[in-house]
Amino acid sequence: MLIHKTAIPVLGEEIVPRFDLATEVIILLTSEKTMLQDKKTIVLPRSSADELCHILLSENVNTLICGAIEDEYYEFIKWKEIEVFDAVSGAWTHAFERWQTRTLKSGDILSMRMVEGQLI
C-alpha cells in the first residue's frame, strides 16, 4: 500500500493566500491517493516560510497545495522533490478533493463567486 502525505497551509477553512503568512498547516495521509487515512493539524507559533519548509521536510510530505509562494521557497521545495500546486485559492477541502481526482492544477480558483447575477 502506497502512503502519501499532502500538506495544505490554511487560514480557517481556506487555503492561506500566501505561503509565508501561514500559521497553520493541515497534513493529510492517504493510501493510493484516494482513501483518507489520517488528518493532522500543526499550528506554528508565528508565520514563517522557513519553519513551514522545515515541517514539510520533517513530516516527509509528498505534495504541497498552497496559495502564492515566493520563488525561493518554490524552488527549494521542488528541489526536495515535493510536488507543488501553487496559486490555488478556495476551501482546502475542495482543493484536496480535486487533488484526489487528479483534476487540481496550479492557479485554480475554487471559491464560489457571483458573476452577473449567477453563482459560479
What CATH number is attached to the domain comprising 48? 3.30.420.130
Alpha carbon distances (Å) from 52 to 23, 24, 80:
8, 9, 14
**Domains identified in the chain, total number:** 1
Residue 17 pLDDT exceeds 80: yes
Q: What residue numbers bound the domain in which 97 lies?
A: 3-119
pTM: 0.90
The pLDDT value recorded for residue 115 is: 64
- Long-range Cβ pairs for the range 104-113 (8 Å, 24+): 104/65
Percent of the chain whose predicted confidence (pLDDT) is above 70: 90
